[in-house]
A and B are shown apart, each in its own frame.
Chain A
Amino acid sequence: TGIVRALPSVRRYARQQQVDLSQVVATGPNNKILKSDVDAYLAGGTKVTA
């Protein structure tokens, strides 16, 4: 599905870090993106490959 699943605060955090949530690997339950997932993406570890 096309729904981004993340808490509102995580969505805002990602925006502040200029992270596109569709590029972040979700590790939370039900495919939810956690704040730590955004941090992991920023650390360079978890790029989504198309």
Chain B
Amino acid sequence: MVVGDFAVELDTVVIGAGPGGYVAAIRAAQMGQKVAIIEREYIGGVCLNVGCIPSKALINAGHRFHEAKHGDIFGITSENVTLDFSKTQEWKDNGVVNKLTSGIRMLLKKNKVEIIEGEAFFVDENTLRVMTEESAQTYSFNNAIVATGSRPIEIKGFKFGKRIIDSTGGLNLTEVPKKLVIVGGGVIGAELGGAYANLGSEVTILEGSPQILPTFEKDMVKLVEKDFKEKGITTVTKAMAKEAIDNGDSVTVKYEANGKEEAIEADYVMVTVGRRPNTDDLGLEILGIDMTDRGLVKVDNQGRTNVKSVWAIGDIVPGAALAHKASYEAKIAAEAISGKAVAVDYIGMPAVAFTDPELATVGYTEKEAKEAGLDVKSSKFSLAGNGRAISLNKMDGFVRLVTTKEDNVLVGAQVAGVSASDIIAELGLAVESGMNAEDIALTIHSHPSLSEVTMDAAELALGLPIHM
């Protein structure tokens, strides 16, 4: 690139190439805008590089290993099942992450989005300065979409290092820890805790609130707790993490629970207590962008900030920090910039935990629906009554529909069980479309499949359950 003071002119510049940023860039290009995307670390962002995708790869490897050793019920026994974790990691990095991120790079190129690897700073509301390794370049833009994402929170007493790690460190371990302590039993902590337990670690999870996975309902979480118990995972709730001491070849984690000071020695401690928005070091304050007191960027229903030319999406704006939320907001913002009359408009945002069993939710829980003033009931159908679940030997779980009493319209659903992450899609469509239990019950579901439980739950809502 030519080094110089003249500005490259762009219609739209996207800062950050995560699931929000790259989708925004592609959609903006599809709309005919001249687009550049600026990324300082990795194409695909947290999700593809150190989040959703690598964690699912390790979770899958954990399942494979665990099942290889526990096939007795099917008459399968194997001896000397071994794990070469460096090969697991090599597959995760090259077979999964690199494959996907190079795919994103290709999609950006195909859509003629210029990829700039560097760090962006706002100079004013129509100008950015980008520092790359060898040069600096000024870009002028009509609109900027800020999609800088989030990073792990470091807590007091737990300074990240070799043995005190964040989720990125947890994904990139070169060995399976003999002992692993996880501070924070939310989705990230519970997913990786389960994965490492399957891979052979002795896992302890310290959670501050009264239950792990606090964003899911108790009857769902109970199933994960049962699985944790079977795998020998120790869960300490209402625990207060105090300090981690790096002993060189181990780490000592001090915490308080039930009014007592405790200490555990482990190979690693992974801190997954939350994420903070990357809204610093960007020059947003120079522009006078309105923020919430939690450091999130305030946006309207199109993703526009108080500065007309600047838009924000994903983890840096309010709402759940989920990849699919960022991608959804990305398309709205990119289309709005092209003058389309669009706005963020969804009734159900699905959320999934890839635990054993998987947990998934969309729309309202019964409690939330009642708080919103809706007169609703719940219909819960167990996987134990489903032929496919029995043939998989995965009977723990259920599908629950939350429907209006008046006319059985689906306002929310929760799924716990094998493949809940996929089963939730049908329910998301139904919630989004205002369908009722009858619409679902009258839809023929393939047999035998886990999706049939959705039909069964709908028939239960109508008072005509066949399989219970």
Contact = CB atoms under 8 A, between A and B. Distances in A.
Interface of A: 1-8, 11-12, 15-16, 18, 30-32
B434 A5 contact: yes
Given A1-B374, A2-B373, A5-B434, A11 B345 contact: yes
A28 B434 CA distance: 11
A37 to B, nearest CB: 13
B462 to A, nearest CB: 13
Main SS at interface, chain B? loop
Most buried by B among A1, A8, A16: A1
Contact of A15 (B345, B411, B432, B436): B345
Contacts of B433: 7-8
A9 B60 CA distance: 36
B342 interface: yes
B304 to A, nearest CB: 15
Given A1-B404, A3-B409, A15-B341, A8 B432 contact: yes
A31 B342 CA distance: 24
Most buried by A among B345, B372, B434: B434
Contacts of B368: none
Main SS at interface, chain A? mixed
Contact of B409 (A7, A12, A16, A30): A30
26 contacts: A1-B373, A1-B375, A1-B404, A1-B406, A2-B372, A2-B373, A3-B347, A3-B374, A3-B409, A3-B434, A4-B434, A5-B409, A5-B434, A7-B432, A7-B434, A8-B345, A8-B432, A8-B433, A15-B342, A15-B345, A16-B340, A16-B341, A18-B341, A30-B409, A30-B434, A32-B434
Nearest to B345: A11
B434 A15 contact: no
B345 A30 contact: no
A1 B405 CA distance: 11
A15 B343 CA distance: 8
Contacts of B340: 16
Given A2-B373, A5-B409, A12 B434 contact: no
A7 B346 CA distance: 11
Contacts of B346: 8
A30 B342 contact: no
Nearest to A2: B373
